[in-house]
Amino acid sequence: MTATALMPIADIRALRCEFPILQQEINGRPLAFLDSAASSQKPRRVLECLDDYYRRYNANVHRGIYKLSEEATFAYERARGKVARLIGATSTREVVFTRNATEAVNLVATAWGSTNVHSGDRILLTMMEHHSNIVPWQMLAQRTGAVLDYLPLDGQGRLVLDDLDQLLTERTRMVALTHQSNVLGTLNPVRLIADRAHAVGALVLVDGAQSVPHMPVNVADLNADFLVFSGHKMCGPTGIGVLWGRYALLDAMPPFLGGGSMIKVVELQQSSYADVPARFEAGTPAIGEAIALGAAIDFLSSIGLDTIERHERELVNYALERLAQVEGVTMYGPPAAERGAVVAFTLRGVHPQDIAAFLDNEGVAVRSGHHCTQPLHRWLNVSATARASFYLYTIPEEIDRLVVSIERARRLFN
Ligand code: C6P
């Protein structure tokens, strides 16, 4: 499989034209952007939406009764509706705008954690979590005396569930796990784990940072209690993210940050708090960014998240096949059928940093390092990996260039 014609997104050339940033050369070569897991590129309509907001109706939301403010408020709340529909939320009240996935996990760990987690309680994580889904729980554990447990992985980077029933005790309050690993690509059986967690009374937070941009995700199908994700990884701007939570849970939670717009009445010594989601959106939010996230959701929906998922599956399948033929390459994670569109690898005798620098010279952008997963890299027994990641605008020719450049690096460095 080498032909673009085989890819599920039929008119991929036209689609790539929607992304102005992809139309440039880096070091004299066309840019092959293979780092969308870190942050995706933005289509014209998202750029124009942001520009339109700042040029035409920039004003604060939920405060003014004049025309511009009303237009901004309407567009901001309409974007919340788009998010709710994307993930199958039953109400827009379940959608909280945050800065990113990281802030959303911190919100839950702080606001929910402060009233629901006590000394001796347990929080179950997995060995493949991003630091964003580890450190906030460590901070909660340090404040409360709770204990963190970790689900282990097998040799191909899948969760081992043999001891799940032992790890899920009556003291387990929360299971927080990623839907898709940002390094291994592993897609986790969230529904199965959530059903078992609920059976012992634990809640489930799903980190959807690497899944929501790439496949249809429905909170009811996952049986999740909380879902977090970031706008910038799904064709939206930076500075906007989402926390979805079951209404009853959010409604029972104390505020995260205090300030304007999250209150009902403020007195000198105390205040009462607004209903959700306003209770969790203190201060002026990222208004234009939320509206542009709505435009990104329209864009992704117009292509179809199921089509995007199939496109990426073909790409990752192709990448695994091609990279397996390069001498000295070790890849991490399960087979293509069980993973999303990221491929982390090492090349014998060449530091991942040197691989990334060499590839950059050839116009191929990949990430190197621990990808904010130090415990996972320790488990893999490597200090760093190089990682290529794909999105709806990636074409097989870019994977060909990746492979050819790695071959060149191998010859040069050895
Ligand atoms: N991973 C990567 O290169 P923020 O930074 O809040 O937008 O996203 C955090 C985050 C949470 N969970 C997962 C699974 C992630 O992959 C990320 C971000 C990027 O892999 C940047 S470190």
Per-residue model confidence as pLDDT tens digits over 235-292? 999 999 999 999 999 999 999 999 999 999 999 999 999 999 999 999 999 999 999 9
Residues with CB under 6 A from ligand 1: 37-38, 100-102, 130, 132-133, 178, 182, 207, 209-210, 230, 367, 371-372
Q: What is the pLDDT of residue 6?
A: 61
Strand partners, 375: none
Q: Which one of 135, 182, 235 would you pick to mutate in the ligand 1 pocket, going by the greatest count of ligand atoms within 8 A of its CB?
A: 182
> Residue 364: exposed, middle, or buried by beta-carbon count in 10 A (0-12, 13-18, 19+)?
buried
Q: How do 122-126 and 172-178 pair as beta strands?
A: parallel
Please state, in angstroms and rounded to a whole number, the distance separating the CA atoms of residues 75 and 65.
Answer: 15
345 C-alpha to ligand 1 centroid (Å): 18
Q: Residue 187 has what DSSP assignment?
A: B
Q: How do 342-347 and 385-389 pair as beta strands?
A: antiparallel
26 C-alpha to ligand 1 centroid (Å): 25
- Ligand 1 atom showing the smallest separation from residue 182 Cα: 16
38 C-alpha to ligand 1 centroid (Å): 6
Q: Which one of 130, 183, 370, 391 would you pick to mutate in the ligand 1 pocket, going by the greatest count of ligand atoms within 8 A of its CB?
A: 130
209 C-alpha to ligand 1 centroid (Å): 6
Which residue pairs, CB below 8 angstroms and at least 24 apart, start in 6-10?
6/314, 7/311, 7/314, 7/315, 7/395, 7/396, 8/307, 8/310, 8/311, 8/314, 9/303, 9/307, 9/308, 9/311, 9/392
Q: Of the candidates 318, 237, 316, 249, which has an alpha carbon nearest to the alpha carbon of residue 277?
A: 249
* Contacts (Cβ under 8 Å, ≥6 apart) of 198: 204, 223
Please state, in angstroms and rounded to a whole number, the distance separating the CA atoms of residues 294 and 75.
Answer: 9
193 C-alpha to ligand 1 centroid (Å): 22
Letter for the amino acid at 327?
E
Is pLDDT of 414 > 90?
Answer: no
Is pLDDT of 21 > 70?
Answer: yes
Q: What is the pLDDT of residue 1?
A: 44
The structure tokens listed for 399 are 């994977």
Is pLDDT of 5 > 80?
Answer: no
- The answer to whether the Cα torsion of 305, 309, 311, 315 is positive or negative is positive
The DSSP string of 68-123 is HHHHHHHHHHHHHHHHHHHHT-S-GGGEEEESSHHHHHHHIIIIIHHHH--TT-EE
Per-residue model confidence as pLDDT tens digits over 39-52? 999 999 999 999 99
10 or 13, which is more confident:
13
Q: What is the pLDDT of residue 10?
A: 80
Q: Of the candidates 398, 359, 405, 384, which has an alpha carbon nearest to the alpha carbon of residue 183?
A: 384
Q: What is the pLDDT of residue 221?
A: 98
Query: What integer best gives the mean pLDDT of the chain?
Result: 97
Confidence bin at 2 (pLDDT 50/70/90): very low
**Percent of the chain whose predicted confidence (pLDDT) is above 90:** 97
Dihedral through CA 356, CA 357, CA 362, CA 363, nearest 10?
70
3 or 108, which is more confident:
108
**Once rounded to an integer, what is the mean pLDDT over residues 3-13?**
75
Strand partners, 272: 265
- Ligand 1 atom showing the smallest separation from residue 180 Cα: 14
372 or 4, which is more confident:
372
The structure tokens listed for 36 are 């969308």
Known active-site residue 17: no
Q: What is the pLDDT of residue 4?
A: 55
Domains in the chain, start-ordered, CATH in brackets?
3-30+304-413 (3.90.1150.10), 47-302 (3.40.640.10)
In degrees, rounded to 5, the angle at the alpha carbon of residue 101 between the alpha carbons of residues 95 and 103 is 90
Q: How do 364-365 and 29-30 pair as beta strands?
A: unpaired
Please state, in angstroms and rounded to a whole number, the distance separating the CA atoms of residues 316 and 60.
Answer: 43
Q: What is the pLDDT of residue 39?
A: 98
- H or E element at residue 332: strand 329-332
Please state, in angstroms and rounded to a whole number, the distance separating the CA atoms of residues 316 and 343.
Answer: 7
Contact present, 374 and 131 (Cβ < 8 Å): yes
99 C-alpha to ligand 1 centroid (Å): 12
- Ligand 1 atom showing the smallest separation from residue 132 Cα: 11
Question: Whose alpha carbon is nearest atom 2 of ligand 1?
Answer: 38
Please state, in angstroms and rounded to a whole number, the distance separating the CA atoms of residues 211 and 214.
Answer: 5
Is pLDDT of 117 > 80?
Answer: yes
Contact present, 397 and 319 (Cβ < 8 Å): no
The structure tokens listed for 345 are 């690898």
Rounded to the nearest 10 degrees, the angle between the axes of helix 287-303 and helix 305-324 is: 80
Confidence bin at 7 (pLDDT 50/70/90): confident
Q: Which one of 132, 376, 377 would you pick to mutate in the ligand 1 pocket, going by the greatest count of ligand atoms within 8 A of its CB?
A: 132
Phi then psi for 112, rounded to 5 degrees? -70, -45
